[in-house]
């Protein structure tokens, strides 16, 4: 069928409506294009299709930089000029607030983009095929795509990537991490055996092995990689979460600090604190920081990262279990939840605490909009939403939202 594409959806696909008014989602197409498509999946309320022919291309259509684009699922938007990517992402955040959160005029600012929207990732995860090739998954598939090049890798990571060689299916997964400011290189090998296979190393790199039970075994060099954000050094263990884009992670910290407007006598709650990216960065601006984190490894990293600070209290557990029991009066909150957003018991506990300001760092506009609705209904005013492009060439959208108690 011929299809006029009218917008870009959360998830990265372009969409239009067929002659019956049904929404049709089309990957690797662009809003404004007229395309000829073939339906690949039909549901009750929508369908998915693949492009057969681009009848009228968008002015924003560009030649993808990577030879794997279209087969590899890691990038979805290399065919879209970067200024248009930024515009689409801003529009998607606004649309999600309106559709999911019923916030019709959300104060969403234009997204902050990167000066150089390539070579930004400080970590990457590969699967291995039965020939020992490093692979990414295909788009919405478990199929493996052997990778010869990736233009999202930081130069240090790319250098490490090109030095590796594996025998067939030695490992289940290979994760590479670098400190872009420390030049440290780290390889994490995830296997299906309790005993690590033999390795040979002729590079200055640290290596750890992760068993099927999740046990981390340091093999070579250090047991963690270190990165520097705004002058503070962060230790990051193999199993700990850390933002993949160090340049824009600093931008997130700046926005959180500006939104919170911390005072010297404030108590700051850092929920989903990870290795301490936000709480430790703001610790000298407040009287006390309470950090909540579920991951044992990340919490141990955070404690190591806070060694010179005396005003940090760490609590291990799920936010929805720890927050309702918290007795301390909280003035400020920064939350950086996973893609699923904040569980209802945790959000209810935050609302009951009635902190002065909440800075919500989100990696998913849909769950952000859902949680925003709950906060607004609980007595908060949404003052500003600032999207930040942590993931150029992909549909993923990071943002920080400022909620002030009414």
Would you mind telling me the total number of residues written for the chain in this entry? 406
Q: Are strands 225-229 and 232-236 parallel, antiparallel or unpaired?
A: antiparallel
Half-sphere exposure of 348 (CA within 13 A, CB side): 7
CA 272, distance to chain mean position in Å, is 14
**Which residues are catalytic, by number?**
363
What distances in angstroms separate CA 179 from CA 157, 206, 233, 265, 294, one per listed residue? 9, 12, 10, 34, 24
Contact 33, 5 (CB under 8 A): yes
Query: For residue 82, which phi and psi values (nearest 5 degrees)?
Result: -60, -45
Residue written as tokens 């998913």?
Answer: 364
What residues form DSSP beta bridges with 135? 127, 146
């Amino acid at each position: 069928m011929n299809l006029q594409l009218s917008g870009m959806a959360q998830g990265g696909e372009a969409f239009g409506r067929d002659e019956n008014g049904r929404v049709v989602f089309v990957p690797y197409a662009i809003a404004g294009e007229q395309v000829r498509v073939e339906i690949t999946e039909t549901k009750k309320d929508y369908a998915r299709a693949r492009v057969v022919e681009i009848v009228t291309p968008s002015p924003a259509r560009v030649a993808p930089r990577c030879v794997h684009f279209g087969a590899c699922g890691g990038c979805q938007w290399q065919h879209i000029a970067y200024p248009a990517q930024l515009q689409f992402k801003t529009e998607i955040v606004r649309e999600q607030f309106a559709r999911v959160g019923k916030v019709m005029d959300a104060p969403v600012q234009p997204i902050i983009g990167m000066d150089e929207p390539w070579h930004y990732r400080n970590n990457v995860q590969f699967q291995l095929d039965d020939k020992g090739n490093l692979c990414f998954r295909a788009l919405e598939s478990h199929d493996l795509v052997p990778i010869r090049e990736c233009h999202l890798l930081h130069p240090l990571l790319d250098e490490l990537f090109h030095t590796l060689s594996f025998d067939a299916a030695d490992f289940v997964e290979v994760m590479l991490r670098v400190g872009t400011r420390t030049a440290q290189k780290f390889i994490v090998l995830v296997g299906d055996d309790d005993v690590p296979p033999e390795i040979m190393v002729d590079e200055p790199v640290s290596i750890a092995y992760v068993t099927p039970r999740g046990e981390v075994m340091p093999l070579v060099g250090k047991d963690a990689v270190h990165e520097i954000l705004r002058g503070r050094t962060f230790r990051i263990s193999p199993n700990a979460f850390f933002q993949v884009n160090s340049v824009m992670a600093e931008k997130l910290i700046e926005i959180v600090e500006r939104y919170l407007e911390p005072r010297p006598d404030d108590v700051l709650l850092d929920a989903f604190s990870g290795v301490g990216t936000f709480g430790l960065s703001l610790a000298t601006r407040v009287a006390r920081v309470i950090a909540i984190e579920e991951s044992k490894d990340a919490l141990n990293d955070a404690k190591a990262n806070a060694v010179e600070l005396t005003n940090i209290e760490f609590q291990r557990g799920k936010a929805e279990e720890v927050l309702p029991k918290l007795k301390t009066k909280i003035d400020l909150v920064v939350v950086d939840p996973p893609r699923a957003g904040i569980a209802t018991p945790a959000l209810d506990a935050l609302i009951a605490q009635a902190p002065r300001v909440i800075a919500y760092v989100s990696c998913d506009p849909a769950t952000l909009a859902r949680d925003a609705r709950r906060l607004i209904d609980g007595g908060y005013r949404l003052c500003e939403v600032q999207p930040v492009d942590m993931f150029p060439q992909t549909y993923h959208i990071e943002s920080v939202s400022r909620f002030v108690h009414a």
